[in-house]
Structures are given as structure tokens and as C-alpha cells.
């Protein structure tokens, strides 16, 4: 693309996955760097990277329903939990108190998404019966009721304080959960997770990107901006709200199943309001209605505990125990979620994505101010 | 029968606490069009002020409680000025999420201040009970019902007869028109947050009376949200009715569910509020008393 890459003259380019060949090249380089990192990162960072990649899948899901379709969903934790448990029940072994069917990953992974999507389909009718604010409460209620079900349905979840093991990490005969050779390269368990997460994110991210730049994405955006106007222009509200919810919960289901596969163990009280808020924070901090923003936000939030941990080394008011210092590290993290949500909403509603655009534009125009 | 009556009083007592919280919620929603998820945080923090004045400064409960409530009011104004004011005119959606962020911060601060010990507000009732025949009722429940009823009457009088109450009602009806009539709308915003924070503090102190204040009382405070929704987000009557309804249902479920609907699991009373909310919203999408939104194109 020579000449003026910023000038967009036709609709096809406006809607393209990559606005120019340059950006496609940058993207390719980014992927190469990420793969190179996977081979060289220490185990703990590789695991964080893997978690960030899969959390991005979940955040993209939430962004579809909240960012594009404009329906506040506080219920993402419920769908994540549903995915995690579907994976564990379908893929796990039956033994002791919990049931399991021992399916292959290639079966249980999509199935986990589908179970969550089915739940989304059940919730969706409420979404077109109720509007905006009331919907937020319904999804909030979903988290609490889901939390109750997860605690009490003991043959599925093991019950509170007991938990169950998650689905085994094995695909096409490759043991992801153990160190070993893959295609002739020795990889640690965390590195395998990292590559798996990265591939999953690539596939799911591209799928989502293609969905939001199609007819569906435009319809969802129209519903968000003005639902009545959208309906008058011939967008069937009910159908597209259902699509948004189903796709979003499918993504959440997949993300939940894989995230807890990494952890290896599911404790039923994890799927609470705070988890939902974490995902809301990812979407808001990253950037509403952008795929790359979701990924940035998810990565940032996933690495936040690590950053706080590192900062506690030289910030004396953060401590590890409840009795020393002013705040404990988990408390600081929680407060940072809250504070970041507030700051980004007030100062930069476009999130990290908006910050990135600003920085890019600054350097594009440098040394001029505009 | 005794059991039933005790559950009823219990339910009314919890219900009036939900009612107070839901009332604060509705006041904020009506006058500023902000959906506040921060009610939980304000409740715990309010309870902490109660603890602070009563057990750390060793004041009499009757002095400590009003002081704590006044303090909470100041905090409410501060929050509105610093955090909510920059968001005036932004989409309701963003502001609602902002209050979630606010709530997290308040909860962490309060939990940190309260720390791990259970603290008391030095209330005169403790675990004492009164009995009417066979029916044994904790004194605390009676006090809660009376306090809630009193503050309700005060609020009604305030809205009905005071000049400022009128200004608040006018702002709720139409912001622009009331601006044109010379009402300082920003002051109305600030005072509605102050009122909500004070109600939350009162509810927090009442919740903490008897058993003590722990960060866990937030799990109870959050159930005022379904109560507000059941009643209808913009109805004061709805807030009270919704609160009492949820409280009563919870009271009965606590007692009878294990015997009759055991398959629903332990502690089902903790989530029944949300189930009721689902049921009500399916039938009446705007709650029991909420006004139907009419949208202009």
C-alpha cells in the first residue's frame, strides 16, 4: 500500500480485517514474536501468557454482547463456570463422588461451548423482553443463582470446599498437561498451554473479527446505538439479541473450559460476581467494541496480580498478611479493578485501544501536534 | 404457628432493611437517573462508621449511630462530587458500571477497616429477646422494624412538605424544567447521594446490631437490589413493598424449604430473592410498581 495508507476510499477496505498490507505485516510479525516468546519464556510467565490468551477469548465473548450489542451482562462468570463444568463432566473421569464421561477433548471443548450457548439461548428471551438496566439485574441474578447451583449440585461439582478435577489436558494424543516432546521439540507443560492458548485465541479471535465486520456485527452495532432506529431499518431485534447472547456465551463456555483445564481443579465458589466484574473490567479497560482491545484488556488484567506483586516489593503499604501493612496484595488488585474501571470510564472511554490510537497518531504526526 | 409468626417478624425485619436500602437506590435512580450498584459498599462502610464511633471511640450507641449516619452522608456527597459528577450526561450504561467499580473500592476499604474480627456497634439490644406467649422475637428485630418505619415516615414528610423535598421531586420529574425554575439540580444530585448513603449506613448499623459487623453483611445488602427491581426501579412505594416481600419470602424459605423443597439445596434462602426477581420480571418487565418506559423516536 503506497501513498496514503490512512485514506480509505471504499467500503471493502473500511471493513477489511487489516486496513492495509502494512498492518497485516505487523500482525504477522506480532504472531511470530508471540510464538518465539512461547519457546523462550520461563514457565510461570508462559502460564500467565496462556491464561491471558484464553481470558481474551472470554473477553471477546463479553465484548460481543456488551460492546457490540450494548446489552449489559454481569453474568459472564456463570457462563464461564458452565463451560468449565461441562468440560470437566464430559471430559473428566468418573470417580468417587463426581460424574464424568471421559470424552476426547476434540468433543468436549466444542460441547462445553455449546452447553454455555444453550444457557445463553435460555436467557436471551429475557434480554428482549427487558431493556438495558433491568437486564443488568437479570444477569446479576444469574451469577448468584449459578453460584448456588454450582455449590449444591454435588455430583457435578463436588460441592463447596471439595471441588473436582477439571477436564484432562490431552488433544490428539498429545499430553498438554505434562512436559514432553511435541513435533520433535521439547516443551514444558506451561509452554504447551501457551501455544494451545495462542492458537485458540487466533482461531476464535479471527472468527469473532469476521463476525463483527459482517452483517451481524453491523446489526448489533445498530441495536446498541439506537434499538428503535435499528428495528425501523429492518433489523430484527429479537433475532440479533439472541445471536449476541448465544455467541457470547459460547465464547465464555470455551474460555471457561480451557482456563480451568489449565488450573486442573475447579472450586465451585470461584464463579462469583467478582469474576464477572473482572471480565467487565477487561472489556472496559481494553476498549469497548474492539477485538484487539479485548485482548489488550484481558492481558492487562491477567498480568495485574503479577504487577501488584512486583510493586509490593518497593511499596511498603502492600503486604502479604492481613495484620501487617495497610492493604494486602489481593485487596490492592481488587481496588485497582475498581479504580481502573472508574478512571477509564471518566478519562478514556475507548480504553487501552483508545490510548494506543492516541499514541500512534501522536507519533504519526510527529513533530507536529496534529 | 409459633414458628410461622416468628418467621414473619424475622421476615419483616430483614424486609425493612432491604426496604431502606432499596429506597436509597430508588432515590438515586429517580433524581439522577443513575443505577447505583454501590449500595452494598455504602452499607458496609456505614456499618463500619457505627463500629468506629461506638466501639473505638466508646460513645453511647444513641450518639454513635447518628454520628455514623451523618458521616456517611458527608461521604455520599463527596462520592457524588468526585466520581459521579464528571459522568453527568454519559450513557446510563457507563455510569452503572462505574458504580460497580466504586462498590468494589468501598467494599475493600470497609473490609480492610473492619479487619478480620467481628466488631459490635454496642447496640443496647444485643441478643436479648421479647416474648409474646410462645412467640420469641429478638429485640433487635423489633428495633429494626421501628427504626425503618420511623425513617420512612420522616422521608415521606420530607418529600411531601419540605421545600427541598419538592425540589427533589421536581428534578425527578424533569431535570431541564426544574433547572429553568431555579432549582440547583447539582445540589439535588449531591443530596440524593447523601440520603442514599445515610439510609445505607442506617441499614448497615441495623444489620450489624446484635450479631456484630463483618464484611460478610455485604452479601445481605446486595439482595436489596432484587428488592428494588421487584418493586420497580422508580417507585418509592415499590421499594418498600419489594423489600418487605423479599424479606418475608426469605424468612419463610429459611424455615420451610429444607422440609418441603429440599432438592433446592442448602441455603436456598440466600438466592430466593433473585428467583423472585426473575419471576416478577417475566410477568411485569417494569417491576410491580415501576412506570412503563415510553420511548420517543
Q: CA of B86 to nearest chain A CA: how many angstroms apart?
A: 7
Q: Residue B126: pLDDT band by 50, 70, 90 thresholds?
A: confident
- In this predicted structure, the answer to whether residue A2 has a pLDDT above a threshold of 80 is no
CB–CB of B265 and A151 under 8 A?
A: yes
Cβ atoms of A63 and A288 closer than 8 Å: yes
Substitution target from B40, B96, B108 for chain A, most A beta carbons within 10 A:
B108
d(CA B146, CA B135): 18
Cβ atoms of B32 and B196 closer than 8 Å: no
d(CA A21, CA A42): 33
H/E stretch holding A194 reads: helix A189-212
Q: CA of B108 to nearest chain A CA: how many angstroms apart?
A: 6
If you average pLDDT over every residue of chain A, what do you get?
84
Report the range of poorest mean pLDDT among A95-104, A266-275, A313-322, B235-244. Answer: A313-322
pLDDT single digits (tens) B34-80 = 888 899 999 999 988 888 888 888 888 888 899 999 999 999 999 99
Among the listed residues A164, A151, A146, the one whose alpha carbon sits nearest the alpha carbon of residue A99: A164
Mean pLDDT score, B87-106? 84
Please give the pLDDT value at position B135. Answer: 80
CA distances in angstroms from B74 to B71, B190, B192, listed in the order given:
5, 10, 12
Mean pLDDT score, B215-234? 87
d(CA A332, CA A327): 6
- The interface residues of chain B toward chain A in range 93-152, judged by CB-CB distance below 8 A, are 93-98, 100-105, 107-109, 111-112, 115-116
Contacts of A305 (CB under 8 A, 6+ apart): A329, A330, A333
Please give the pLDDT value at position B276. Answer: 93
CB–CB of A337 and B104 under 8 A?
A: yes
In chain A, residues with a C-beta closer than 8 Å to the C-beta of B285 are: 129-131, 134
Please give the pLDDT value at position B134. Answer: 78
- The interface residues of chain A toward chain B in range 63-82, judged by CB-CB distance below 8 A, are 70, 72, 74
* Domain regions of chain B by residue span: 2-216
Please give the pLDDT value at position A1. Answer: 43
Contacts of A214 (CB under 8 A, 6+ apart): none
Please give the pLDDT value at position A132. Answer: 65
Please give the pLDDT value at position B289. Answer: 86
- In this predicted structure, the answer to whether residue A343 has a pLDDT above a threshold of 90 is no
Secondary structure (3-state) at A266: strand
Check if A7 contacts B (Cβ < 8 Å).
no
ipTM over 0.90: no
Q: CA of B176 to nearest chain A CA: how many angstroms apart?
A: 23
Angle among Cα B266, B268, B274 to the nearest 5 degrees reads 155
Conformational region of residue A3, where left means phi above 0, alpha means psi within -120 to 50, and beta covers everything else: left
pLDDT over 70 for what percent of chain A?
93
- The interface residues of chain B toward chain A in range 216-275, judged by CB-CB distance below 8 A, are 222, 225-226, 229, 233, 264-268, 270-271, 274-275
In chain B, residues with a C-beta closer than 8 Å to the C-beta of A151 are: 265, 267
* Domain regions of chain A by residue span: 41-271
If you average pLDDT over every residue of chain B, what do you get?
86
Please give the pLDDT value at position A260. Answer: 92
Amino acid at each position: 500500500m503506497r501513498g496514503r495508507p490512512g485514506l480509505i476510499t471504499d467500503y471493502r477496505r473500511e471493513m477489511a480485517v487489516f486496513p492495509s498490507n502494512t498492518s497485516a505485516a505487523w500482525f504477522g510479525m506480532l504472531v511470530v514474536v508471540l510464538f518465539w516468546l512461547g519457546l523462550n519464556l520461563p514457565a510461570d510467565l508462559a502460564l500467565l501468557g496462556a491464561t491471558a490468551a484464553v481470558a481474551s477469548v472470554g473477553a471477546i465473548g463479553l465484548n460481543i454482547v456488551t460492546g457490540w450489542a450494548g446489552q449489559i451482562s454481569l453474568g459472564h462468570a456463570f457462563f464461564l463456570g458452565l463451560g468449565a463444568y461441562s468440560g470437566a463432566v464430559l471430559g473428566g473421569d468418573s470417580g468417587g463422588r463426581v460424574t464424568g464421561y471421559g470424552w476426547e477433548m476434540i468433543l468436549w471443548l466444542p460441547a462445553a461451548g455449546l452447553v454455555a450457548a444453550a444457557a445463553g439461548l435460555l436467557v436471551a428471551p429475557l434480554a428482549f423482553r427487558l431493556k438495558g438496566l433491568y437486564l443488568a439485574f437479570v444477569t446479576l441474578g444469574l451469577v448468584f443463582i449459578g453460584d448456588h447451583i454450582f455449590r449444591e449440585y454435588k455430583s457435578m461439582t463436588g460441592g463447596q470446599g471439595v471441588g473436582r478435577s477439571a477436564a484432562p489436558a490431552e488433544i490428539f494424543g498429545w499430553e498438554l498437561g505434562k512436559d514432553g516432546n511435541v513435533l520433535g521439540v521439547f516443551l514444558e507443560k506451561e509452554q504447551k498451554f501457551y501455544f494451545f492458548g495462542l492458537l485458540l485465541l487466533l482461531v476464535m479471535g479471527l472468527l469473532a473479527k469476521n463476525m463483527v465486520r459482517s452483517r451481524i456485527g453491523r446489526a448489533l452495532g445498530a441495536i446498541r446505538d439506537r434499538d428503535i432506529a435499528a428495528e425501523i431499518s429492518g433489523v430484527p431485534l429479537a433475532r440479533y439479541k439472541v445471536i449476541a447472547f448465544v455467541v457470547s456465551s459460547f465464547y465464555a463456555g470455551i474460555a471457561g473450559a480451557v482456563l480451568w483445564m489449565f488450573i486442573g481443579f475447579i472450586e465451585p465458589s470461584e464463579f462469583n460476581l467478582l469474576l464477572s466484574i473482572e471480565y467487565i473490567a477487561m472489556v472496559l479497560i481494553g476498549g469497548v467494541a474492539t477485538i484487539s482491545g479485548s485482548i489488550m484488556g484481558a492481558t492487562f488484567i491477567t498480568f495485574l496480580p503479577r504487577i501488584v506483586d512486583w510493586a509490593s516489593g518497593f511499596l511498603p503499604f502492600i503486604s502479604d498478611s492481613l495484620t501487617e501493612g495497610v492493604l494486602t496484595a489481593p485487596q490492592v488488585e481488587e481496588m485497582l479493578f475498581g479504580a481502573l474501571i472508574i478512571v477509564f470510564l471518566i478519562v478514556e472511554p475507548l480504553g487501552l485501544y483508545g490510548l494506543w490510537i492516541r499514541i500512534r497518531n501522536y507519533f504519526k504526526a510527529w513533530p507536529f501536534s496534529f | 404457628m409459633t414458628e410461622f409468626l416468628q418467621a414473619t417478624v424475622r421476615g419483616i425485619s430483614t424486609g425493612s432493611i432491604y426496604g431502606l436500602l432499596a429506597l436509597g437506590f430508588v432515590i438515586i435512580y429517580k433524581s439522577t437517573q443513575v443505577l447505583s450498584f454501590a449500595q452494598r459498599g455504602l452499607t458496609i462502610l456505614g456499618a463500619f462508621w457505627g463500629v468506629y464511633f461506638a466501639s473505638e471511640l466508646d460513645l453511647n450507641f444513641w450518639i454513635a449511630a447518628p454520628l455514623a449516619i451523618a458521616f456517611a452522608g458527608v461521604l455520599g456527597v463527596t462520592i457524588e462530587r468526585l466520581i459521579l459528577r464528571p459522568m453527568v450526561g454519559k450513557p446510563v450504561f457507563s455510569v452503572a458500571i462505574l458504580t460497580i467499580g466504586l462498590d468494589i473500592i468501598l467494599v475493600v476499604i470497609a473490609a480492610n477497616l473492619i479487619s478480620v474480627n467481628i466488631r459490635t456497634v454496642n447496640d443496647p439490644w444485643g441478643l436479648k429477646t421479647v416474648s409474646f406467649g410462645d412467640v420469641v422475637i429478638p429485640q433487635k428485630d423489633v428495633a429494626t422494624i421501628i427504626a425503618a418505619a420511623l425513617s420512612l415516615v420522616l422521608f415521606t414528610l420530607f418529600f411531601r412538605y419540605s421545600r427541598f423535598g419538592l425540589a427533589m421531586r421536581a428534578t425527578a420529574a424533569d431535570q431541564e424544567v426544574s433547572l429553568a425554575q431555579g432549582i440547583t439540580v447539582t445540589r439535588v444530585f449531591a443530596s440524593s447521594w447523601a440520603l442514599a448513603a445515610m439510609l445505607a449506613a442506617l441499614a448497615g448499623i441495623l444489620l450489624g446490631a446484635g450479631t456484630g459487623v463483618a464484611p460478610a453483611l455485604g452479601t445481605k445488602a446486595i439482595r436489596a437490589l432484587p428488592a428494588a427491581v421487584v418493586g420497580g426501579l422508580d417507585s418509592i412505594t415499590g421499594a418498600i413493598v419489594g423489600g418487605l416481600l423479599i424479606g418475608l419470602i426469605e424468612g419463610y424459605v429459611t424455615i420451610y424449604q429444607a422440609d418441603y423443597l429440599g432438592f433446592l439445596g442448602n441455603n436456598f434462602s440466600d438466592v430466593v430473592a433473585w428467583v423472585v426477581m426473575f419471576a416478577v420480571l417475566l410477568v411485569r418487565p417494569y417491576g410491580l410498581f415501576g412506570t412503563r418506559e415510553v420511548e420517543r423516536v
